[in-house]
Amino acid sequence: MNKVEVNATQGWLNGLIGVILFSGSLPATRVAVLELDPVFLTACRASIAGIFAFSALVIFNAKRPNRQQFSSLAIVGIGVVAGFPLLSALALRYITSAHSIVSIGILPVSTAVFGIIRGGERPKPIFWIFSLVGSLLVIGYAMAQGATASPVGSILMFGAVVLCGLGYAEGAKLTKFLGGWQVISWALALSFPVMLPLAFIYMPSSFEGVSSEAWIGLSYVSLFSMFIGFIFWYRGLAQGGTATVGQLQLLQPFFGLALASLLLHENVNTGMIFITIAVILCVVGTKKFAK
């Protein structure tokens, strides 16, 4: 096996590990947000991850980004450090993690759209057809839930997915110049001066009564979802190529629904599975016609 094949194999493996780690984000957030304020949860997870990120940048003497790259890193921070964690945490006060995971089915579409906007690509018209159908399937499913699904939660989750796609696309672009783990590390380091004060401002007056499950959820999203998962994810993108390894996020809804069912004992009905599969098929179409 030559060097190129080895890098490609390692890229797929690292990307798969990243997707598996991300799959636990929404179930863990659901557990934590039932007892902790969403803003505190968002700021605290970013602050904890920021400490690890800053330490890594210092220890490994990471290359300092230029002014333009700092602007892109700010976009990454808005998308995946602040935007997605906060909006998804707010959404999970209204909907179950299983329901929110259905919305994750359009994340690859969101990432592709922002990749097109930021990269200046011109996809074929059929790309937009697949993208629109996938989005309508998710919106239609949310509306069909009626009283069992909060419109507020669904709207917040949709906004979270949009911002996450923005952060993924911008981060993938920066990976070519800064390296995989450096992108999320710099984004966390830049966000730290804002997130740490927010964590103290929204910190509960007392932690008495906060269960161990909530602390485990906070620990997971701080270490794995916010930092370690991105190390594997961006490294995989760099090794195996963004277009190819990026398709692994199609598996995230399946992993997420399995975790929601096994760990949280949430109801994963056939409708959720059907919509998830249908959305994934639409995403496959958008990937095929993206260029």
Average pLDDT, integer, range 224-240: 85
Which residues touch 85 (CB under 8 Å, ≥6 apart)?
29, 41, 42, 45, 46, 221, 225, 226
Residue-wise pLDDT tens digits, 177-228: 888 789 999 999 999 999 999 999 999 988 888 999 999 999 999 999 999 9
Answer yes or no: is pLDDT of 244 > 90: no
Average pLDDT, integer, range 25-47: 94
Work out the percent of the chain whose per-residue pLDDT is above 70.
Answer: 88
* Domain housing 246: 3-288
* pLDDT value at residue 115: 77
**pTM (2 d.p.):** 0.84
Where helices occur in 120-251 by DSSP H, the ranges are 125-144, 151-178, 180-201, 212-220, 229-240, 242-245
* pLDDT value at residue 119: 63
Q: Give the count of domains, the chain.
A: 1
8 Å CB contact between 116 and 125 = no
Confidence of residue 147 (pLDDT cuts 50, 70, 90): very low
8 Å CB contact between 164 and 107 = yes
Measured from the Cβ of residue 189, the count of other Cβ atoms closer than 10 Å reads 22
Residue-wise pLDDT tens digits, 48-65: 999 999 999 999 999 899
Phi, psi of 290 (to 5 degrees): -70, -30
Interhelix angle 38-59/84-91, rounded to 10 degrees, is 150
Among 286, 22, 282, 265, smallest CA distance to 160 is for 22
Question: Which one is predicted more confidently, 204 or 257?
Answer: 204
Residue-wise pLDDT tens digits, 114-124: 877 776 666 67
Which residues touch 152 (CB under 8 Å, ≥6 apart)?
91, 94
Confidence of residue 229 (pLDDT cuts 50, 70, 90): very high
Confidence of residue 145 (pLDDT cuts 50, 70, 90): low
- The per-residue pLDDT of the chain, averaged, comes to 84
DSSP code per residue over 104-132: GGGHHHHHHHHHHHHHT----HHHHHHHH
Alpha carbons 245 and 144: distance in angstroms, whole number: 33
8 Å CB contact between 91 and 153 = yes
Alpha carbons 102 and 271: distance in angstroms, whole number: 10
